[in-house]
Structure 1
């Protein structure tokens, strides 16, 4: 099974939003940004995209240097939050992943996030030992999740897998790589009813994965 991270395993807003506001406070302090912080919906509605595309949507008027500074600040504040114990996995994630692992199912993460963010979230939430590998767009410099998942499949010799995620990018990555796609329909910041169109099955809570396997 290959899992997306944000909105699938990790309740992203519990870590992201405090860091998001701190980032814009610091950008203003450095005279790199003026005006009000863009609404939270701007970044929550962009999750699942590559970070550069997220900033293009959140602050389209800012230049590239400011966006790169925002990258650094947001990551720093999120790591600081993890160290302080902020951020939550969705209900049932740790137990379900443990049960899947005990069944001998190989577990992976494929995320469009930055390498250190993905690895730190999984480590600080205590589930890192359950995964065979963590793949991120930040580490492998991929331009789409389709490419990222393809790289993972080829590297680990995987011929059959489930792609589990909450975004259209996850559905696309699964379908274009010939995988079974499970859509996670429980994130509070999901962007719309058509986001998971094409998924073979949808779940309303993470633990339903165990029921799907039994069926």
Structure 2
């Protein structure tokens, strides 16, 4: 039986806003150059839906475009995200590596469960060396339903997890925790929304607070 800490990536471990606007603007500049878009890049709209699977992103941002245009934009956007990560334009939240190191030393098994796509997640994990502490990184691509709860359920089943936490900034992370009998820790970070966080078991303003929760709460499921 393993006690686990399952982290979301975007807006939880990785400061997605450090590369998001750049990559999204690059993708929409390409659309503008092709005559497929007029006006400003819809940054605010994306912030409101941050954390949903990418197919939903493009259905929202490009509701009147053909599927082929959405798919091409998705491919280009992903390429620009990865290149920006590799170029060092992104950043982890303060204290990420120290926290992961401490959790690992305490005997917790660490996972990442993200709505991000595999090449994007691999770029972050590789660039920052997160595999030193993270047992496995899971992408929503691995689940046909594109449901974060099902993704966490796969981790729980594969590693026989009975006790643990899901740490994330959006409602999908909180719901995924509760659906799998785990404790939900909501992060009041860049993309979070207070009405969603209220459904979490704990709310934190910084990742170091996770250690306090672990020290004071006995997990029993």
Superposed CA RMSD: 1.3
User: What corresponds to 2:10 in structure 1?
Assistant: 6
Work out which of the residue numbers 73, 87, 92 in structure 1 matches 2:95. Answer: 92
How far residue 6 of structure 1 moved from its aligned partner, in angstroms, is 0.4
Q: Which residue of 2 aligns with 1:28?
A: 32
Between 136-145 and 59-68, the greater mean CA deviation after superposition: 136-145
Q: What TM-score results when the alignment is normalised by the length of structure 2? A: 0.92
In structure 1, stretches of 5+ residues that fail to align are none
The aligned residue for residue 219 of structure 2 is none
> What is the CA–CA distance in structure 1 between the aligned matches of 2:101 and 2:151, rounded to whole Å?
24
Q: Secondary structure at the match of 1:88?
A: coil
Pairing 1:62–2:65 present: yes
- Describe how 1:125-136 pairs up with structure 2 within 5 A: 125-136=128-139
2:155 pairs with 1:172 = no
Q: 2:212 is matched with which residue?
A: 211
Structure 1 position 79, deviation (Å): 1.1
* Aligned-partner SS, 2:116: coil
CA distance in 2 between partners of 1:28 and 1:139 (Å): 32
**Aligned-pair distance for 1:16?**
1.3
Partner of 1:139: 142
Answer yes or no: is the 8 Å Cα contact 2:140–2:148 preserved in 1.
Answer: yes
Cα distance change on mapping 1:186 and 1:34 into 2, 3 Å: closer
Deviation, structure 1 residue 38: 3.3
TM-score by length of 1: 0.94
Superposed displacement of residue 86, structure 1: 1.1
> Hey, what's the Cα distance between the residues in 2 that align with 1:95 and 1:46?
30
Q: CA deviation at 1:129?
A: 2.1
4+ aligned runs moved over 4 Å, structure 1: none
* Cα distance in 2, alignment partners of residues 96 and 141 from structure 1: 32
Equivalent residue number for residue 72 of structure 1: 75
Q: Which residue matches 2:194?
A: 193
Give the total of aligned pairs.
212
Cα contact 1:168–1:197 (8 A) shared by 2: no
Contact 2:143 2:150 in 1 (8 A): no
Question: 3-state DSSP class of the match of 2:197?
Answer: coil
Q: CA deviation at 1:115?
A: 1.1
Please list the CA deviations of residues 66-111 of structure 1 after superposition, one character each: whole Å capped at 9, or x if unmatched: 1111110111001111121111101111111111111111000001
SS at match of 2:198: coil
